[in-house]
Amino acid sequence: MRRAETTSVSSDVTIWHNPACGTSRNTLAIIRAAGVEPTVVVYLKVGWDSATLQRLVDGAGQGVRGLLREKGTPAGALGLLDPDVEDAVILAAMVEHSILVNRPIVETPKGVRLCRPSEVVLDILENPPSRFAKEDGEIVSL
């Protein structure tokens, strides 16, 4: 069956996106190639609230530490990498410092995923594209 060439608007797909991140850009492009125009949240600008972030943590099933970004963040300087730091402390730090949240995170009716690598998003799209070219030319096929 041939996929529609047009993009449909879908308010039930959301990507928490960092436009400066290639993985995030590729994930957004895969979603759009699936014929979906998602809600795009540029979380570094709008920030986080603890309820939304906790819902995504729970949905992704990786725990708070699974969504904690270490590279290029103050996670180490804030002492968040110590295994004894409680999840609530990490979550509060993520709300205060948006950069601590790894990206991109995508939520669809089929679930929540931290999409690293970007093709992880294929698991939670209703009609994923059968083939996709990433920014670097790598071809992803189902």
Is 115 assigned a catalytic role?
no
Give the residue among 19, 48, 21, 20 at the shortest CA–CA distance from 117: 21
Q: Which of 9, 15, 21, 140 is catalytic?
A: 21
Mapping DSSP to helix (H, G, I), strand (E, B) and coil, where does residue 8 land? strand
Both tokens of 88, joined, read 């609530």
CA distances from 45 to 49, 112, 126 (A): 13, 21, 29
Q: Which residues are tagged catalytic?
A: 21
